[in-house]
């Protein structure tokens, strides 16, 4: 049994900016499997903090009862730098102020870092290959410069995640239903996760663009397997982004149930014993990210939706009106916002005043869209 609360000091780039990163390590130190969970990487997305607030004591109790078969690492608030990003009474938290980079973008390409150096060392022993790869990643991470607070923070997080068998990044959308992002190679385990979480969609892409946190860990193994097909390379890691509805959906009772459902998923994976928890359903099958349409505003205006979350729409159907706020049609004219695919309405924008290029809604369909190429994720 083991329960540890870890605190790391992130030395600020200027006086008054030093902060603390706190997280938990729970479960047997010698466990064969490791599970990594984090919340609020986008610091303005807080449902995950509440979920891990409920999950941590459940895992602690399971550890005390000898029911944990894996080592769990939980970062309930993984981005204290973003949590401190408050301006004119409004919390920001999505972008690094120094670089302008989205906190969930430009995580390292681990294959480029270590892949080429491993070719002659990999062989037919899968377990040994896993050890060699993770050892190389750890060595590379240790060699990274850690002068600025952002670099210290990213190192601290990556050094806990790199050797995990499961990496779950808890986010939320704007106004949204619950859904999952992952890679096609993890389709089966993500279906089980969707069943337990009640996800209305599981959206898959091997490379969504931007090197998001959840993609960099399985990407290493995917690229190694392609580069060295004659070597014993397993499909690690089971990694995903869990979009826990919308930003306002931080509620004690709801997120407590979310924690129980996650716990139940880990039980069905054999990572936790004891009395079964969670209420699994039969979630919809996964779809390609290129089949999800992100409708954007053609011009600035005031949004008037005519569809609800979860509603099924057909291609060509009006999903909203955009009321003109300037020009000849100001305050009188409307532009119809039309669905470019058939599917379900997954998310909407809580800000009804939008500007050119702003996201209006996501529609999850089954038909791959020609317009969906290159960078597939929103920034």
Which of 137, 202, 200, 173 has the alpha carbon at shortest distance from 48? 173
| pLDDT tens, position by position, 18-68 | 999 999 999 999 999 999 999 999 999 999 999 999 999 999 999 999 999
| pLDDT tens, position by position, 127-171 | 999 999 999 999 999 999 999 999 999 999 999 999 999 999 999
pLDDT score, position 119: 85
Q: Is the pTM of this model over 0.95?
A: yes
- The answer to whether residue 1 scores a pLDDT higher than 80 is no
CA–CA separation, 221 vs 223, rounded Å?
Answer: 5
Q: Phi/psi zone of residue 285: left (φ > 0), alpha (ψ -120 to 50 degrees), beta?
A: beta
CA–CA separation, 376 vs 232, rounded Å?
Answer: 31
Q: In this prediction, what percent of the chain has a pLDDT beyond 70?
A: 100
pLDDT score, position 71: 98
- Token pair, residue 99, equals 């670089």
Which of 264, 266, 265 has the alpha carbon at shortest distance from 276? 264
Which of 135, 22, 143, 2 has the alpha carbon at shortest distance from 63? 2
Neighbours of 180 (CB within 10 A): 24
For tokens 């000849």, the residue is 328
20: CB partners within 8 A, 6+ apart: 7, 8, 9, 10, 80
Domains along the sequence of the chain with CATH: 3-285 (3.40.630.10), 289-365 (2.40.50.100)
């Amino acid at each position: 049994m083991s329960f540890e609360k870890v605190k790391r000091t992130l030395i600020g780039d200027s006086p008054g900016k030093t902060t603390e990163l706190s997280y938990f390590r729970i479960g047997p130190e010698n466990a064969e499997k490791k599970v990594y969970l984090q919340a609020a990487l986008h610091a303005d997305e807080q449902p995950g903090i509440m979920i891990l607030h409920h999950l941590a004591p459940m895992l602690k109790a399971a550890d005390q009862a000898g029911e944990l078969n894996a080592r769990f690492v939980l970062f309930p608030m993984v981005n204290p730098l973003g949590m401190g990003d408050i301006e004119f009474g409004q919390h920001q938290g999505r972008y690094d102020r120094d670089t302008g980079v989205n906190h969930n973008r430009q995580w390292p390409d681990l294959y480029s870092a270590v892949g080429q150096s491993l070719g002659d060392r990999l062989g037919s022993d899968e377990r040994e290959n896993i050890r060699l790869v993770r050892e190389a990643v750890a060595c590379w991470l240790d060699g990274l410069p850690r002068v600025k607070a952002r670099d210290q923070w990213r190192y601290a997080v990556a050094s806990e995640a790199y050797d995990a068998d499961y990496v779950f990044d808890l986010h939320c959308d704007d106004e949204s239903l619950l859904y999952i992002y992952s890679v096609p190679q993890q389709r089966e385990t993500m279906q089980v996760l969707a069943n337990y979480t009640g996800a209305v969609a599981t959206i898959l892409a091997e490379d969504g663009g931007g090197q998001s946190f959840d993609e960099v860990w399985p990407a290493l193994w995917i690229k190694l397997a392609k580069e060295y097909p004659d070597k014993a390379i397993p499909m690690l890691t089971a990694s995903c982004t869990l979009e826990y509805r919308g930003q306002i959906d931080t509620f004690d009772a709801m997120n407590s149930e979310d924690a129980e459902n996650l716990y139940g998923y880990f039980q069905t994976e054999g990572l936790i014993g004891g009395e079964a928890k969670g209420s699994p359903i039969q979630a919809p099958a996964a779809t390609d990210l290129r089949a999800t349409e992100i409708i954007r505003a053609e011009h600035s205006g005031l949004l008037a939706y005519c569809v609800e979350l979860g509603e099924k729409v057909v291609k060509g159907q009006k999903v909203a009106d955009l009321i003109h706020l300037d020009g000849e049609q100001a305050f009188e004219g409307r532009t119809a916002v039309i669905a470019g695919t058939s599917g379900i309405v997954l998310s909407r924008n809580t800000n009804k005043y939008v500007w050119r290029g702003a996201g209006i809604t996501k529609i999850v369909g089954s038909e791959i869209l020609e317009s969906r190429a290159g960078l597939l994720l929103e920034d």
